[in-house]
């Protein structure tokens, strides 16, 4: 199963990019042995529209253009479900076991995601009630993907 992360905004050079790349590489190495490919990262520039609804609409159009038919769509959203790591791993492993071709994880911009994208999502995940910068959400998502792979493989990285 191919894993894709679509994110509004770019990670500049620095510690966030280095940490994100470390977890991306770790998932890629371990994930291949488990039937995963990726994660592939698509960065979309933040909209420069003058108002929030227009920005959300422009960003949603750019995101939708990257989502193929029959892909599992997962949004990262403060209104989403708060899953523990084992439940997240179970979802990821379940999609793989059902021969899902792609799991697409979407991180919105500062104004959030469009209601239409949120409705299309098979799962919406929250990393808590706090508001996080999109750079940190990307790092946390990539760490959780790696952690899910370690759980699925029985690797001792995840401790209960």
Tokens encoding 74: 């997962």
DSSP 92-154: HHHHHHTT-SEEEEEE-BTTB--HHHHHH-SEEE-S-SS---HHHHHHHHHHHHHHHHHHHHT
The string of pLDDT tens digits covering residues 110-136 is 899 999 999 999 999 999 988 888 889
Report the pLDDT value the prediction gives residue 132, as an integer from 0 to 100.
87
Report the pLDDT value the prediction gives residue 157, as an integer from 0 to 100.
84
Strand order, beta sheet including 102-107: 37-44, 2-8, 102-107, 72-81, 123-125
Q: How many residues in total does the chain contain?
A: 160
Q: Domain count of the chain? A: 1
CA-CA distance, 144 to 52, in Å (whole number)? Answer: 30
Indicate whether 64 belongs to any domain. Answer: yes
Residue 49 has pLDDT above 90, yes or no: yes
Indicate whether 135 belongs to any domain. Answer: yes
Residue 159 has pLDDT above 90, yes or no: no
Residue 65 DSSP SS3: coil
Instruction: Answer left, alpha or beta for residue 14, where phi above 0 means left and psi between -120 and 50 means alpha.
Output: left
Report the pLDDT value the prediction gives residue 160, as an integer from 0 to 100.
63
Which residues fall within 8 angstroms of residue 27, CB to CB, at 6 or more apart?
3, 36, 38, 39, 142, 145, 146, 149
CA-CA distance, 38 to 153, in Å (whole number)? Answer: 16
Average pLDDT over residues 93-114: 96
Report the pLDDT value the prediction gives residue 115, as an integer from 0 to 100.
95
CA-CA distance, 135 to 123, in Å (whole number)? Answer: 21
Is 92 annotated among the ligand-binding residues? Answer: no
Burial of 83 from C-beta contacts in 10 A (0-12 / 13-18 / 19+): middle
Tokens encoding 105: 């994880």
| CATH value at residue 115 | 3.40.1280.10
Indicate whether 160 belongs to any domain. Answer: no
Indicate whether 50 belongs to any domain. Answer: yes
Taking the model in full, what pTM does it have?
A: 0.94
The answer to whether 53 touches 59, Cβ cutoff 8 Å, is no
Q: Which domain holds residue 78?
A: 2-153
């Amino acid at each position: 199963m191919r894993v894709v992360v679509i994110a509004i905004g770019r990670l500049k050079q620095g510690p966030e990019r280095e940490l994100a790349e470390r977890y991306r590489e770790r998932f890629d190495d371990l994930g291949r042995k488990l039937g995963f490919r990726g994660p592939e990262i698509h960065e979309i520039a933040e909209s420069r529209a003058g108002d929030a609804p227009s920005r959300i609409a422009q960003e949603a159009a750019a995101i939708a253009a990257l989502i193929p038919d029959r892909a599992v769509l997962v949004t990262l959203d403060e209104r989403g479900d708060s899953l523990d790591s084992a439940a997240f791993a179970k979802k990821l492993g379940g999609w793989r076991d059902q021969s899902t071709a792609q799991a697409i994880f979407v991180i919105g911009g500062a104004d959030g995601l469009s209601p239409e994208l949120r409705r299309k999502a098979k799962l919406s995940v929250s990393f808590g009630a706090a508001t996080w910068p999109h750079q940190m959400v990307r790092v946390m998502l990539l760490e959780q993907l790696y952690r899910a792979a370690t759980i699925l493989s029985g690797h001792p990285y995840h401790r209960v």
